Structure 1
Amino acid sequence: MLRQLYIRNFTLIDELDVTFNTGFSVITGETGAGKSIILGAVGLLLGSRADAKQIKTGADKCIIEAHFDLSQYDLQSLFDENDIDYDAHDCIIRREVSSNGKSRAFVNDTPVGLNILKELGGHLVDIHSQHQNLLLQKEDFQLGVLDVIAADGNLKDEYQSSFKAYKKAEKQLQQLHEKIESTKENEDFLRFQVNEIEQAHLEEGMQEALEQESETIAHAEEIKSGLYLVDNLLNGDETGIVQQLKQASQSLHSIEKVYPKVKGLCDRINSSYIELKDISEEISGGIDDIDFDPAKQEEINDKLDTLYSLQQKFHASTVRGLLDTLEDFRQQLHDIEYGEEELAVLEKERDRLMTYAESLATKLTMSRRHAAGQVEREMQNRLIPLGMPNIRFKVELLEKSLAEDGADKVQFLFSANKSTALQPVAQIASGGEISRVMLSLKAMISNAVKLPTIIFDEIDTGVSGRVAEQMAQIMYEMGETGRQVISITHLPQIAAMGTTHYRVSKQETQQGTTSHMVSLSQKERIMEIAQMLSGNDISDAAIENAKSLLKISI
C-alpha cells in the first residue's frame, strides 16, 4: 500500500508531504485545485513519460518520492532479479526530472530504468481514470477479467508455453520449406558451381605454394646466377672458403699436441667447415634444380588464374573461403535431396505441438465458460443496486483461431432496459453506466485477487444521489477487506464514506499559484462536505446534511 507521498517543485506544488492510510480514502477540492497534478506525480512514479514543463517555474528539478508497504505482496523475486535491495515494509520509489529534460528513477536508492519502474508500478498502484473506461472496448481486458475470475493462471501459463512451442515449430517448418523451394529452383546451377570448384582440386596452402613456384620460375636466371656465384666462393679450387677452412683446421690440428690452446679453436673451425660444406652441397643441388621451364610456368599460371577467377566469382579471398563456399553448396544440395524427410519430421512435431496446444485451449475455454456464468450473475447483482433495476449483462464467448491468449473471443454485452437488445457495453452504455460497470468489475476482481492500491479518478461521473451512495459503499467495502482505495470525487455522498478525507486547494501568492493537500479533521470534513452540498455560502441546513452524511460512514 501507499504509505507516504512527497512532491517538490512539480507544476503548482512547491512541497507536499502526505501520509496515507489503509481503507477507503477520499480526495476532494474544487476543479483546477490540483487533484490531477497529484495523479500526474503518482503517474511519474509508475513510469509515465517525464516532461521538463512539469517542473515548477524557477526550479532546476522536481522530485516525487513515495513509500510503499510491500508486506502483502509477493514481490521479492522481482527485486532479486533486478539486483535491488528489498525491504517489505518500506519500499522507496523516487523520480527526479531536471530542467534539461533528463529523468532519473530509483528504487531503494538503486537507479532503475523506466521498464522496471513500470513493471513494479503495475504491482503497486492501479489508477482508474475516465481514460481507463476505454478498456471496455478491448477484448484482452475483457478476457483478462474472465481469467482472473476463473483463477486459471497455471493453465493459461501452460497453454501459452505450448502455443509458443507450436508457433516456433511452425516457423521452423515454414523456413525449411521456403529454403528447399528456393534451392530447388537453383539445383542445376548449384551442381554446376560445385563441379566448377571441385575441378580446381583445391587444397589449403596451395595458393601460396603456386605463387612461390611461379615467382621462382620467373626469376630462374637471376636465382641460378646468384647460386653459381656463392657456389664458386665456397668451392673455388684454391680460393674456395670450404677448402681454406679445411686447410686451416688441418694446420691447427698439426700443432695441437705441442700447443694445446688451439684445440678449442680447431674444433670451432672444424664445426664451421662442416656447416659450410653442408650449405655448399645444398647450393650445388639447388643449381641443378633451378631451370627456366616455360611449360611449367604456363601450367602454374593457369592454375593461379583459375584460382583467382574462382575467388573473384565467389567473393572469397582465400582457398579456405572457396572450400567453405563449396561445403555450403554441397549442404544445399543435401537439403534438396533429403529435405522432404526433414520436412516430414518437422511437420509431425508441429502437428504434435498443435494438438497439445488445442487440448489446453479447450480446457481454457471450459474454465472461461464456467467463469462467464459467474461474472454474469455477480455483475447483475452488483449493478441492480447501482440504479439499474433492469440490467442485463452477458459474457459472449466465440471461437477463434489459436492465439497466444487461447481460442476464445470474448465480448461483454449490456442492456440497461428490458426493451433494448444486448449490445457491446462500450457501444451503448452512457458515461455514468460505464463508470458503474467498471467499478463493479474492479470490486469483483478485488474479491478474486489481491489488487494493488486503487485510485479512482472521478469514477462518480454521471451519477448522483442514491446511486452515488451505493458506489461509495462498494469502494468502502473494498477498503475494509484489507485494500487501500482512494477516490477523487466531487460528490458529497462519496466523500462522506471515506475513512480518511484529504482536501486539495490552490492559493495565489506573490510567487504564483500553488496547490496544497491536507488531511481533514472531523470538523473540517463537515465544512468541506457542507460546501460540496451548498457551494461557498454554507448554510446551516448544509452543515446538518453534512453531519447526517458523515454518520452514515461511522
Structure 2
Amino acid sequence: MLTNLSIKNYALIETLDVSFDSGFITITGETGAGKSILLGALSLVLGKRADLSVLRNKDTKCIIEADFQVKNYRLHSFFEENDLDFEPLTILRREILPSGKSRAFINDTPVTLNVLANLGDRLVDIHSQHQTLQLAENEFQLKVIDAIAMNQELLASYSKELIEHKTIVKDLEELINYKSQANKELEYNSFLLKELQDAKLKVGMLEELEQEYEQLNNVETILENLQTASQTLNNEEIGILSQLQIIKQALGKLSGFSKEYQGLFQRIESVTIELDDIFSELEQVSERVEANPKRFEQVNTQLQLLHNLFKKHQTDSVEQLQEIRNDLEEKVDVSLNVDAKIEAKEKELQLIEKSLNNKAKELHQNREKIIPTLKQELEDKLALLGMPSSSFKIELTLTKEFKSTGKDDLSFLFSANKGSSYGELKKVASGGELSRIMLVIKSILAKFEKLPTLMFDEIDTGVSGEISSKMGSIMKQMGKNMQVYSITHLPQVAAQGSSQYKVFKQENEEATFTHMKQLELDERIAELSEMLGGKNPASSAVAHAKELLGV
C-alpha cells in the first residue's frame, strides 16, 4: 500500500509531503484545486512518460517519491528478475531534469522507465475512463471470471504447455517442409558424403602424406646419402670408427697416468659407442628404404584427392573437411529418417494436445460453474447502485482453437432496462453505468485476489446522493481488506472514508500553489458542510455533515 507521497517542483505543487494509512481514503477539494495534478504526479512515479511542462520552476528538477509497503504483494520474483534488492518498504523515485531527461529509481537503484512502470502496475490501479473501457474486452472479462473460479494455477500450467505446443507445431512444420526438399538434395549430399568418407579423413594426415610423398619421390638420393654416411663411419682403413679405435687405444695406455688422461679416454669411449650406435641405425634405415612405385602412386592419388576436396569445398584443412562431412552425415541421416521423425513429432503433438484439451475443458467447467454466481452478484450490487433492472447474459462456448486462455469464446452481454435487448457493454451501457459496473467488479475481485492499491477518480460522477452513499459503502467495505482511494465531489462518499484529505489552492502576489492535508474531525465536518451547503453552510448542513460522519 502507498504510505507516503513526496512531490517537489511539479506543476502548481512547490513542495508536498503527505502520509497515508490503510483502509478507505477519500480526497476532496474544489474543482480546479489540483486533484488531477496529484494524480498526474502519482502517475509519473508509477512510470508514465513526462515532458518539461511538468516543471514548476524550469531551472530546477522535479522529484516525486512514493513509499510502498510491499511485503504482502508477492513481488520477490520481480525484484530478482530485475536484479533489485527487495525491501518491505520500497521507495519509487522519479526525477525530471531541466534538460528534459528523466531518471527512475527503485530503492535508490537506477532502473529503466519500463521496469518502473511494470512495478507500478503491480502497486497501484488508477481507475480511469480508459480502464472502464476494458470492461468491454473479452480478455478483461475472462480475467474476472478466472479470478473468481480460482483458475490461476491451472491457467499457468495451460500457458506453459501452450508454449511447448507452439514449439512442437513449428518443429513439425519444419520437418514437413524439409521432407519436400530432402529427396531433391539427398542424392547430391550422399555423393558428397561418400567422397569424404572414402577419403578416410583424420587429423594430421595431410602432413603425413606429404612427408611420405617426399621420401618415396627421393628414394635414390636418400639411399645414396645413407650409404655415404655409413661408409664414412665404417671404412676398414679410413672410416671414422677405425680411426677412433686407434685414438681409443692410445689414450687407453695413458689413462692410468692421471685423471685427466682417464677423462679423455672415457670421452673418446662415449663418442665411439654413440657413433657405433648411429652406424647400426643407418644400416637398419637403409634396409627399410626401397623404391615402391605402387605406394608412391597411392600416396600421390590420396594427396590429389585431398586437394580436390579442398577446392570443391573451398577449404584448406582436413579439420574443416571433417566438419563438412559431419554436417552432411546429419543432413543425409535426417533425409533418410525424416518420416520416422515426423511420426515421432506427430505423436508428441497428439499427447500435448490431449493434455491441453483436458486443461481447456477443466477451465471451461470451472468458469461455467461460477458464472451464475457472478451474474447474480453483479445484478444484486448494481440494483443497490440505482440499476435495479440491469441484467447480464454471460455465455461460454468451447471452440476448436487453442487460445492463450483456453478454448473458450466468451459472450458477455448487458441490458440496463427491462425489455431492452442485450448488447455489448460498450454499445449499450452509458459512461456512468460502466463506472458502476467497474466498481462492482473490483469489489467482487477484491474477495478473490490480492489487488493493488485502488484509486478511483470521481467514479461517482453523475449519480445521486443516495446511490453515491451506497457506492461509498462498497468502497468502504473493500477498504477493510485493501487500500482504496476515492477522489470525490460527493459528501456521502467522502464521509465514509476512514481518513479524508483535502486538496486546495493558495495564492500570493506572485504565484498559485496546490497543497494537500489530512483533515481532523472538526475540519472534516467543516469540509462536508461546505460540500453540502456551499461556502456559508447553514446549521442544517453542519448537522447533516455530523450525521454522515456518525458524530
Please classify the TM superposition score into its range, dividing by the shorter chain length. Answer: 0.7 to 0.9
CA pair 177-242 structure 1, distance change in 2 beyond 3 A: farther
Aligned length: 548
Q: CA deviation at 1:397?
A: 1.6
Runs of 5+ unmatched residues, structure 1: none
Please show how residues 69-218 of structure 1 align to structure 2 within 5 Å: 69-70=69-70, 72-75=72-75, 86=86, 88=88, 90-99=89-98, 101-107=101-107, 109=108, 117-213=116-212
TM-score by length of 1: 0.85
Give the distance between the partners of 2:102 and 2:433, measured in 1 at CA. 41
Q: CA deviation at 1:95?
A: 3.8
Please tell me whether residue 539 in structure 1 is matched to residue 527 in structure 2.
no
Q: CA deviation at 1:127?
A: 1.5
Alignment match, 2:396? 397
Please tell me whether residue 488 in structure 1 is matched to residue 487 in structure 2.
yes
Q: CA deviation at 1:19?
A: 0.9
Give the distance between the partners of 1:161 and 1:416, measured in 2 at CA. 40
Query: Secondary structure, in 3 states, of the residue corresponding to 1:261?
Result: helix
Please show how residues 105-504 of structure 1 align to structure 2 within 5 Å: 105-107=105-107, 109=108, 117-213=116-212, 245-279=244-278, 303-400=302-399, 401-479=401-479, 481-504=480-503
Q: CA deviation at 1:445?
A: 0.9
Query: Secondary structure, in 3 states, of the residue corresponding to 1:459?
Result: coil
Give the distance between the partners of 1:11 and 1:292, measured in 2 at CA. 101
Query: Secondary structure, in 3 states, of the residue corresponding to 2:446?
Result: helix
- Deviations 1:189-216 (Å, cap 9, x if unpaired)? 1222122323433232212223445566
- Deviations 1:297-344 (Å, cap 9, x if unpaired)? 786565444323323433544212222322332232222333322322
Percent identity for Structure 1 against Structure 2 = 39
Q: CA deviation at 1:252?
A: 2.1
RMSD: 3.7
Give the distance between the partners of 1:378 and 1:179, measured in 2 at CA. 56
Query: Secondary structure, in 3 states, of the residue corresponding to 1:135?
Result: helix
Contact 1:130-1:458 within 8 A present in 2 as well: no
Q: CA deviation at 1:364?
A: 1.0
Query: Secondary structure, in 3 states, of the residue corresponding to 2:369?
Result: helix
Q: CA deviation at 1:501?
A: 1.9
Query: Secondary structure, in 3 states, of the residue corresponding to 1:186?
Result: helix
Q: CA deviation at 1:437?
A: 1.1
Alignment match, 2:8? 8
Give the distance between the partners of 1:425 and 1:144, measured in 2 at CA. 16
Contact 1:50-1:103 within 8 A present in 2 as well: no
- Deviations 1:224-272 (Å, cap 9, x if unpaired)? 9988997898778988766655544443223112233333333233333
Give the distance between the partners of 1:395 and 1:218, measured in 2 at CA. 93
Give the distance between the partners of 1:128 and 1:246, measured in 2 at CA. 113
Contact 1:496-1:550 within 8 A present in 2 as well: no
Q: Which moved more, 1:213-222 or 1:416-425?
A: 213-222
Alignment match, 1:552? 548
Alignment match, 2:42? 42
TM-score by length of 2: 0.85
Q: CA deviation at 1:153?
A: 2.3
Contact 2:147-2:449 within 8 A present in 1 as well: yes
Query: Secondary structure, in 3 states, of the residue corresponding to 1:105?
Result: strand
Contact 1:5-1:19 within 8 A present in 2 as well: yes
CA pair 96-229 structure 1, distance change in 2 beyond 3 A: farther
Give the distance between the partners of 1:462 and 1:17, measured in 2 at CA. 32
Contact 1:67-1:92 within 8 A present in 2 as well: yes
Give the distance between the partners of 1:70 and 1:78, measured in 2 at CA. 12
Contact 2:364-2:398 within 8 A present in 1 as well: no
- Deviations 1:437-489 (Å, cap 9, x if unpaired)? 1111111111222322111122234434433333222212222x232110122
Runs of 5+ unmatched residues, structure 2: none
- Residue type matched to 1:552 in 2? L
